[in-house]
Homo-oligomer: A and B are copies of this chain.
Amino acid sequence: MINPFLIEITRGRLIESRHRGSVAIVDADGAPILALGDIERWIYPRSAVKAIQALPLVESGIADRYGLSDEEIALTCASHSGEERHAATAASILAKAGQDASCLECGAHWPTGEAANRALAAQDGQPSALHNNCSGKHSGFVCLSCGLDENPRGYVTAQHPVQQTVRRALEDLTGAPHTEAVRGTDGCSIPTYAIPLSALALGFARFGTGVGLPGERQIAARRIRRAVARYPFMVAGTDRFDTKLMQVLRERAFVKSGAEGVYCAALPELGCGIALKIDDGTPRASAAVMATLILHLLPLSDWERTEVEALAWPLLKNWNGLEVGRVQPDPDFFRSVTTQHGS
């Protein structure tokens, strides 16, 4: 199956580039609401499942035992820009478990946020693992390990009790087997397991509604969603799409991007989960698809609509601030969404 065009990039009067992909929207029983393209294809969810990976930390009571704040819980679900507040919050999570950055096994990289990157360079600083965009998730893993009375060393490996626990949570929510045969290694060195796109959407429908989850897990999922809605800066950062969308929609939409054009969302009031993947892995397209979907699924006030439209279909400006093109939905995709028929 050839996936349909979802997003087009215009310049002048022409379409300059185009992105194909697939979209699955399902309810918490797995019933399809919208299906575009090959929704049974196995994809790596990458960072899009960080909130599900954070469930064991919260549902086990370990987050409470260490007194993690909502800001800190939000950071455990983050692909953050490495801004000062992100790095400081990761350090604070580790400190609460009696640990420090030397435990982190995610590797160091310069902040992905441009201003944060230059600020660190201007201070003559060097990036540490705390600046890694996954440092919050990893700090959460270290807490989970300590709370389970396991030595954190090697917590990134598939065999470590932390990754085993996280894998079971992912299997429970998505219903998809997470086996060695479909295991890849993520940018931060933890395993990432490929699953069908439809299963990923189901995982987020359950995460957003609690339907079919044990009581403690329902409570944990709600707590994580609320923490992120209160502190959307924590999950991404300044001028980032995830942050801006949740600053507008708060608890109405939990959204999380993953590398290589993956995007997931839970829309609790509609009882559905969304998972999408751009074939070519480009984030500009996955973000535009997600915002387009949300625009047509959620009833919005005029202000909310204006804000989300600016995120969905950004103007492309050049270095002199001149408008040169647009990111916009493919007309057939737009029609599929507005009529809510799959193709």
CB atoms of B261 and A17 under 8 A apart: yes
A300 at the interface (CB under 8 A from B): no
A327 to B11, CA, bound (A): 28
A18 to B22, CA, bound (A): 13
4 shortest interchain CB distances as A-B pairs: A107-B319, A12-B184, A17-B281, A118-B121
A150 at the interface (CB under 8 A from B): no
29 of the cross-chain contacts (CB-CB < 8 Å) are A2-B2, A11-B185, A11-B192, A12-B44, A12-B185, A14-B184, A14-B194, A16-B184, A16-B260, A17-B279, A17-B281, A18-B279, A19-B280, A20-B20, A106-B320, A107-B319, A108-B319, A118-B121, A119-B121, A132-B319, A184-B324, A184-B325, A185-B318, A185-B322, A185-B324, A189-B318, A189-B320, A279-B280, A282-B282
Q: Which of B11, B110, B124, B189 contacts A184 (CB 8 A)?
A: B11
Cβ distance A315 to chain B, nearest Cβ, rounded Å: 13
Chain B, Cβ-Cβ closest to A13: B181
Q: Which of B117, B118, B187 contacts A324 (CB 8 A)?
A: B187
A182 to B12, CA, bound (A): 7
A42 at the interface (CB under 8 A from B): yes
A114 to B109, CA, bound (A): 12
A43 at the interface (CB under 8 A from B): yes
CB atoms of A318 and B13 under 8 A apart: no
A42 to B114, CA, bound (A): 34
Q: A20 contacts which chain B residues (CB < 8 A)? A: 20, 280
Q: A17 contacts which chain B residues (CB < 8 A)? A: 260-261, 278-281
Q: A285 contacts which chain B residues (CB < 8 A)? A: 280
CB atoms of A18 and B280 under 8 A apart: yes
A178 at the interface (CB under 8 A from B): no
Q: A114 contacts which chain B residues (CB < 8 A)? A: 110
A316 to B184, CA, bound (A): 12
Chain B, Cβ-Cβ closest to A259: B16
Task: Return the CB mask of A189-222 against B: 1 if under 8 Å, else 0.
Answer: 1001010000000000000000000000000000
Q: A42 contacts which chain B residues (CB < 8 A)? A: 14
Q: A110 contacts which chain B residues (CB < 8 A)? A: 114, 118
Chain B, Cβ-Cβ closest to A7: B280
A105 at the interface (CB under 8 A from B): yes
Q: A43 contacts which chain B residues (CB < 8 A)? A: 16
A252 at the interface (CB under 8 A from B): no
CB atoms of A13 and B182 under 8 A apart: yes
A2 to B189, CA, bound (A): 36
CB atoms of B118 and A14 under 8 A apart: no
Task: Return the CB mask of A121-136 against B: 1 if under 8 Å, else 0.
Answer: 1101000000010000
A108 to B321, CA, bound (A): 11
A244 at the interface (CB under 8 A from B): no
A183 at the interface (CB under 8 A from B): yes
Q: A184 contacts which chain B residues (CB < 8 A)? A: 11-14, 16, 324-325
